[in-house]
Amino acid sequence: MTITRTCSSRRNFILGAAPAVAGGLALPGMAREVFAQPAGGATSKTGSANEKIWSNEYWAQKGEVKLYMFRKRAAAPQAGKLALPVLFLVHGSSTSYRSFDLNVPGHGDYSVMDKFAGYGFDVWTMDFEGYGRSSRTEGNSDIASGVEDLKVAVEIVARETGQERFHFFGESSGALRAAAFAMVRPERVNRMVLGAFTYTGQGSPTLADRAKQVEFYRTHNRRPRDRDMIRSIFTRDKPGTSDPAVGEALADVELPFGDSVPTGTYLDMTANLPVVDPLKVRAPVMIVRGEFDGIATEEDLLNFYKKLPYQDRQFVVLPGAAHSVSLGTNRQQFWHVMRTFLEMPPRLDGAKAG
C-alpha cells in the first residue's frame, strides 16, 4: 500500500493502493416488478440552477410501494452514442434526493447532480420509501428496506442505460444503504464512495446522543423533522463549516413533503451496528470523512477500511468539513476526490504493461 499525504488548511490525507476490478457480471433474476415512467425533463421542478442539463423522472415499483427516481446528464441519451458512466447517489436519514440537487441562489454551486453531469457522468438518484415523492407507508425505511429499494431502482437504470454496473455515492445512512447493497448485489457495483460513513459506532458523539431516543425509534416508525432539525445537520459538529443559507434552502425544498421522516436508519445506527461487513464489500471503495464529523471516529472508520478485501481503496479526510461533505463550504474538495477516484484508470497486468 502506498500512502500519500497532502495538506490544505489543517490536513487532508489519502491512503491509496493500486486499482482492481470488482464483482462478476452474471445477473440474478429480478424478484420484483420494475418499470420506467419517464415524466419529462424539467429541471425547474427540482430547483436546480442549471437549465442546460437534461433531466428525466422515473418510477420503480417495490410491491405496492412506488419509488421516485431522478436522472441528470449533460445531454439527452441518443441511440448509437457511447454510454456515459453511471453514478447513483444515495441519500441519508433526514432528507430526500433533493440534498443532491440543491439550488442556493447567490451562494455558489451546490448540486452534486449538475456538477457530475458536467463532468460527463449519467447521474441517477431516488427517494427511498417514506421520503420525498416516494410512497409513504407504515414501514420505518431501515437499511434493509433501503437495500430492497436499490434492488428495484438499479433495474430501471440498467434498462434505461444498457449498462450493468454503476458507481455509487452514499452519504451518512445513505453510505450504509449503498454498502449493504454492495454486499448482496456486487455484480451491479463498479466503484463506491462512502461519505459520513459509520461502522460500529464506537466512540461516536453523534450516535451516543442519538441513542438517548432509541426507545422512541423502536416504537415509532416516523420522527419529527422540522426546519431547526435540518439546520442542525450543518451546525451540530462544527459551526462555520457550511453556509447558513444551505440549511435554509434545504429546508425550503424538504418541508413541503412533510415534517417527519422514517426512523429506521436512526434505529439501525443506534441499536444494530454494524450493518455492513467490510469483508463482503467486494468493490473498489473510497471512504470520505469530514475533519469534524461526529458520526464516526477516525479509528472506527480505519478499522473498516483495513478489512476491505480490495486493494483498490482510499481513505480521505477532508479538512474544514463536518458531517455533510457534499454541502459544506469545502465541497469542491469533495467533488475533486470523488471525481478522481471514479475516473481511476484501470489496473494493467504487469506482465503485459511493459
Q: Which three cell numbers stand for residue 317?
A: 479526510
Is pLDDT of 354 > 50? no
Identify the H or E element spanning 13: strand 12-16
For the CA atoms of 90, 94, 98, 101, what is the dihedral angle to 10 degrees? -70
Is pLDDT of 314 > 80? yes
Is pLDDT of 45 > 80? no
Is pLDDT of 26 > 50? no
Locus of grid cell 448509437: 80
Question: What's the rounded mean pLDDT across residues 2-28?
Answer: 33
Q: Is 1 exposed, middle or buried (0-12, 13-18, 19+ CB in 10 A)?
A: exposed
Q: pLDDT value at position 349?
A: 78
**Residue 220, SS3 per DSSP:** coil
Beta-carbon contacts of 60 under 8 Å, excluding residues fewer than 6 positions away, are 34, 35, 36, 66, 67, 69, 126, 149, 152, 153, 155, 156
Could you read off the pLDDT of 255-283 as tens digits, one per residue? 999 999 999 999 999 999 999 999 999 99
Could you read off the pLDDT of 211-270 as tens digits, one per residue? 999 999 999 999 999 999 999 999 999 999 999 999 999 999 999 999 999 999 999 999
Provide, for the chain, the percentages of residues in helix, strand and coil under a 3-state DSSP scheme, each rounded to the nearest 5: 35, 20, 45
Could you read off the pLDDT of 123-132 as tens digits, one per residue? 999 999 999 9
Strands 166-171 and 86-90, by their bridges, are: parallel
Q: 1: pLDDT confidence band, cut at 50, 70 and 90?
A: very low
